[in-house]
Structure 1
Amino acid sequence: MAAHRTRTKVFRLGERKIIAERLPQSFWTDLHHYAMTASWPRFFAALAAGFICLNTLFALLYVLGAAFGDEPVANARPGSFADYFFFSVETLATVGYGDLHPHSLYGHLVATIATFVGVSSVAIVAGATFARFARPRARLLFAQNPVIAPHDGARMLMIRFANERVNAITEAAAQLWIIRQERTAESASFRKFYRLRLTRDDNPVFALTWTLMHPLDEESPLHGWEKEDFAHSDADIVVIFSGHDESSNQLVRDRQHYSAREVLVDHQYVDLSRSDAQGATFLDFGQLNKTRPIGPNASPL
């Protein structure tokens, strides 16, 4: 049986480093995914490399024709790889300055193939670039730490986030999950997912800030947890957000991961808002990450 080539991928979920081993090689069968997920520098570097390789290939075909006594490109210097390369660039880009042009049947055949490849490449590259540029994304600022504090007489897990664009996101919805490792009665280890109930999981018009609140009552998977439980837990807390961005008229999504060790117990967020004498309200987003211990003489962190 032939051995299949495999790969290893390293990625992170919050602070957790995960290494996936022996994944099937799927680069050529999943080019769209790689085009969408690569960074912009890598994306353009790959385009440049492909462009150079294609033109080098066609230049070598012209050189091959010339080596057998053919004159594939008129006005090209004999044996000049540079002339053939730049003629290929002009052909693939459908520029055609006119100084160099196909001269023989062989030259016309190679130029025809190059033109077809060039037109197809332009369509593919333009589509991939537009898809990357037009991909809708929410611009959310999440507080650095979740906190646990009392609210309306109940103990709450709170996570604050803000809309960086300060525009209207309608029909906004949020989910809060906790993911933790547990053992079954058969001593098997399983990664289990629990959706945490929120006091409010939707927002008709999200434009500024939103604080998610999960009551730590008897129904909560975190009921009875204290500071030490969070400090020694390997659980992850995940926020999933979605909504309709009125500026782009598109559905936007975002996601944030926290480690349970990042939860600040018996802390509360510092208020972002203040008012002046004229009644104007100011929101200081620089305070988004600031918290303070609960107590009369507590100072912000």
Structure 2
Amino acid sequence: MQRNNRCTEDPHYHGVRCRRSKRVVKKNGDRNISFTNIPERATKYFRDVVTTMIDAQWRFFLTIFSMSYVSSWFIFAVCWYLISYTHGDLDSNLQDIKTFRSCVVGCDSFADFFLFSLETQVSIGYGSKFVTEECPEGVFLITLQVIVGIGINGAMAGIVYAKMTKPARHVSVMNFSRKAVICLRNSKLCLIFRICDVNYSHVVGTKVTAFWFEERFSPEGEKLRNLQHTLKLPNDGNVFLIFPTTVCHVIDATSPLYNLTQKQLYEKKFELLVTLTGSSRTTGQLTQCRTSYLPKEILWGHRFVNMVSYKKSEEVYEVDHEKFDDVIEFETPSVSACELDAAIDESESDIPSVYYNENLNYIGHCVTEDYDKLTDLETFCQPTGLTRSQSEQYTIRLQGISNERLIASGKSSS
């Protein structure tokens, strides 16, 4: 067993630290793309403040969170100060007049007005500071500040909840195997990678999509960067992640890997981008996690180790997650899938055909010429010189004919 194995024929591996390869998406799923010279870039973020705040990093959000409260307290403190100043509350001569009533009682400096603004908005309690009905503008301002305070509290509480329950945080616990492999499966070359729901978050409607990115030149000589091709996956990529799952792409004539040999695979410049899309069972919101594989991260002639076993003593399936990235060598031809299919087709054409007439009398290689007495496969003499693959196909074809004869004989007897 080899963990995090690397193919010995991988030209990128030389036993020393190599230069980091170019990739569109990092292994952790972060986008490795930087946009520059975007007109009105700053205003575009603030046109959708809520989305910007939810997607922002926590340190940036906490700064905005704190500044929104402090700035509102400061702005209203300035407004209260101006109202008191214009009304003459800060004039010591007017304070000596017994009939004079202040708009805000107990505030003699800007620090007092700031504390008054804070106490008003968060409902701490005034103490010796309070508003009188002497100034209509004071009544209006305190009403406005209470409404603004409730709005800020609601907005910040909603954004904090959205960030903490962000579906991406749940789906991001999905593990992708560090390597992908290419091996034979059902006599076909297949590209395989593994995914696993580590924390059993039970993402609903899980779908896996694989994109092939490569650079090509058009017949006119134009360089086409990051040309995309969607790889075909079983069940259209729909998976049920109750177990760690291997996702298999059969390399057929529609696959961009169809004409690539093992050597050409490692020499070619491409990137395989894999996305997993699903809805959080808790919030119901759609989200996506992703990773990518470069040529040096695809192991030819390997397969993944089985990590699921059944414990009879406890009557439960056991998943050994330490084997998640483990691979073992598997005998696989180094030719392309195109060459492999051509070789199989050629070998099939060399297999002697077995025919039968409308009365189900066999015409083919057999020991006896009395075809009506043929009842089982033992009476057939298999042609010599067949390879193992040809022999298996020959036997399968005989079994199919035998089954049809049994069905036909049953109908005739009835």
TM-score bracket for this pair, using the shorter chain length: 0.7 to 0.9
Task: Pick from 137, 140, 149 the counterpart of residue 109 of structure 1.
Answer: 140
What secondary structure is seen at the aligned counterpart in 1 of 2:167?
Answer: coil
Q: Structure 1 residue 238 and structure 2 residue 273: aligned?
A: yes
Can you give the 5+ residue segments of structure 1 that lack an aligned partner in the other structure? 1-10, 296-301
What secondary structure is seen at the aligned counterpart in 2 of 1:271?
Answer: coil
Q: After TM superposition, list the pairs within 5 Å mapping 1:72-151 onto structure 2.
A: 72-76=103-107, 78-81=108-111, 83-93=112-122, 95-99=123-127, 100-103=129-132, 104-105=134-135, 106-137=137-168, 138=171, 139-151=173-185
The separation in 1 between residues aligned to 2:321 and 2:236, in whole angstroms, is 22
1:286, CA displacement in angstroms? 2.4
1:267, CA displacement in angstroms? 2.2
Choose 1 or 2 for highest CA Rg. Answer: 2
Match of 2:324, as an amino acid? L
Which residue does the alignment assign to 1:3?
none
The separation in 1 between residues aligned to 2:285 and 2:147, in whole angstroms, is 37
The separation in 2 between residues aligned to 1:154 and 1:101, in whole angstroms, is 83
The separation in 1 between residues aligned to 2:81 and 2:259, in whole angstroms, is 77
Which residue does the alignment assign to 1:253?
287
What secondary structure is seen at the aligned counterpart in 2 of 1:130?
Answer: helix
**How many residues are treated as equivalent by the alignment?**
282
**Identical pairs, percent:** 17
Structure 1 contact 226–265 (Cα < 8 Å) conserved = no
Which residue does the alignment assign to 1:177?
211
The separation in 1 between residues aligned to 2:34 and 2:201, in whole angstroms, is 38
Cα 1:229–1:14 shift into 2, 3 Å: farther
The separation in 1 between residues aligned to 2:326 and 2:63, in whole angstroms, is 40
1:98, CA displacement in angstroms? 3.2
The TM-score normalised by the length of structure 2 is: 0.60
Cα 1:287–1:218 shift into 2, 3 Å: same
Q: Structure 1 residue 38 and structure 2 residue 56: aligned?
A: yes
1:97, CA displacement in angstroms? 1.0
Task: Pick from 232, 243, 248 the counterpart of residue 197 of structure 1.
Answer: 232
The separation in 2 between residues aligned to 1:288 and 1:208, in whole angstroms, is 11
Can you give the 5+ residue segments of structure 2 that lack an aligned partner in the other structure? 1-22, 90-101, 332-414
Which residue does the alignment assign to 1:273?
308
Task: Pick from 23, 26, 35 the counterpart of residue 20 of structure 1.
Answer: 35
Cα 1:55–1:228 shift into 2, 3 Å: farther
Higher helix share: 2
Task: Pick from 210, 216, 228 the counterpart of residue 245 of structure 2.
Answer: 210
Structure 1 contact 177–196 (Cα < 8 Å) conserved = yes
Higher strand share: 1
Deviates more, 1:218-227 or 1:48-57: 218-227
1:169, CA displacement in angstroms? 4.5
CA offsets 1:251-270 (integer angstroms, 9 cap, x no match)? 54323121323222222222
The separation in 2 between residues aligned to 1:251 and 1:60, in whole angstroms, is 42
What secondary structure is seen at the aligned counterpart in 1 of 2:230?
Answer: strand
Match of 2:106, as an amino acid? N
The separation in 2 between residues aligned to 1:214 and 1:31, in whole angstroms, is 41
The TM-score normalised by the length of structure 1 is: 0.80
1:160, CA displacement in angstroms? 0.4
1:133, CA displacement in angstroms? 3.6
Q: Structure 1 residue 291 and structure 2 residue 327: aligned?
A: yes
Cα 1:21–1:66 shift into 2, 3 Å: same
Q: Structure 1 residue 59 and structure 2 residue 62: aligned?
A: no
What secondary structure is seen at the aligned counterpart in 1 of 2:191?
Answer: strand
What secondary structure is seen at the aligned counterpart in 1 of 2:246?
Answer: strand
Which residue does the alignment assign to 2:254?
219
Match of 1:211, as an amino acid? T
Which residue does the alignment assign to 2:197?
163
Structure 2 contact 310–317 (Cα < 8 Å) conserved = yes
Structure 1 contact 234–259 (Cα < 8 Å) conserved = no
1:193, CA displacement in angstroms? 1.3
What secondary structure is seen at the aligned counterpart in 1 of 2:72?
Answer: helix
The separation in 2 between residues aligned to 1:130 and 1:152, in whole angstroms, is 49
Cα 1:198–1:209 shift into 2, 3 Å: same
